[in-house]
Amino acid sequence: MRKYIYLTFITALVLVGCIDEIDFESPRNIQDAISIQAKLTHGPQASLLEVEVIRVFDFTGVPQNINVREVRLINLSSEQFLIADGAGVNKYTIDIPDSSPEMNINYEDEYAVRVEALNGDIFESAPEKLIPSPGPLTVDHSIVQQREVDLFGDFVFVDRLQYDVSGSTVNPMTTDLTRMRWTFEQAYQLTDEPESASIPSKTCYAIRNQGANIESVKDPNERGESMLTREPVIDVVISDVYSEGNYLLIYQQTLSETAFEYFDQIRQVINLEGSLFDAPAGKITTNFKSTNDGNNEVFGFFYMTEIDTLRHFVSPDFLGNPTRRCPPVFSSPPPRPCFIESCCDCLLEENSTTEKPVWWID
């Protein structure tokens, strides 16, 4: 059977970021297929539903707008529902305070997302339940060596920075073990060196998304692990973003069993190396279906989660003081041309500010 590549679908995977290309078996109706990515995050004072709906076209891989009449969050136990507000092109949100009389988000009830297009097509997710957090895990780091292929085709060992987590996986309301997913951002300090000595230098703080293709999932039920001890979750290249101080921001999410299976499938596809030993790449699971037209193809997933944010600082000293980006090693003293824009003005670094984060402690 022919296969088509849908980078669009995976781009919408976590509502941010992008992922490697993934093959999906071509359904009969793929030109009309849609992708629905929906996440409900439960917080201590409110919950937030985020939904993105796009139409998937093959050949171009470009997401297309879809005209949506309504997006609903449904409590399947009480039959209450809320209607989402538009939050940009193809995006819909619902803010739900804990005290809301219209809907209560809790651990006992089941919830679903229902999308109705202007043409009458209706798509609804399978029921999902909220899993409570076992609490934030602790984070540690170490230098590990990884074998890589250099420019000459030879194997070499390269130092990388590895982060591990430790702590309980036990659901605080039951004796169940909690399935988890971790996504990442890096926050780092950058001091510029303007091209003119008359311009004072300044320090910026930037946050870099690690990308949707860098994440980790864990099901402690596979080995009956009620405690994790130095569980590796990510290793990264040691670069100039560590030269002035660096925080790894870890977003620890709880997952239901079906949500874990979904994200684990994504992880397996991302990790395919193109060798004969790779498992065949199958179709990614979805928990959405068309309720009024069985020929309508739909991709995506709805899940509910509680998120703990972990912040872990690594000092330049630990890494042997990596070379700073600014001034560039090949530059001359001021006045000089601007070889690297962010060195002339660190506010040109993507997602940067001169305001020091309140949680930043050197």
Q: Which domains can be identified in the chain, with CATH numbers? A: 3-133+255-306 (2.60.40.10)
Least confident range from 4-13, 222-231, 303-312: namely 4-13
Which residues are paired to 75 by β-bridges?
111
For residue 99, pLDDT beyond 90:
no
Alpha carbon distances (Å) from 218 to 15, 200, 235, 237, 285: 21, 47, 16, 23, 18
- Helix, strand, coil abundance in the chain, percent, nearest 5: 10, 40, 45
User: Judging by DSSP bridges, how do beta strands 138-149 and 155-168 pair with one another?
Assistant: antiparallel
Q: Could you identify the residue written with the tokens 């002339």?
A: 344
Q: Tokens standing for 278?
A: 């790779």
Give the separation between CA 326 and CA 322, rounded to whole angstroms. 12
Percentage of the chain lying above the pLDDT 90 cut: 64
What residues pair up with 232 in beta bridges, in sequence order?
164
Average pLDDT over residues 161-189: 96
H helix count then E strand count, the chain: 3, 20
Burial of 327 (0-12, 13-18, 19+ CB in 10 A): buried
Highest mean pLDDT among 51-60, 107-116, 334-343: 107-116
Query: Which of 225, 245, 232 minimizes the C-alpha distance to 140?
Result: 232
How many Cα atoms sit within 13 Å of 35 on the Cβ side? 28
Residue 15 has pLDDT above 50, yes or no: no
CA distance 198 to 23: 55
- In tens, the pLDDT along 72-97 reads 999 999 889 999 988 767 899 999 99
pLDDT in tens, 340-350: 999 999 999 99
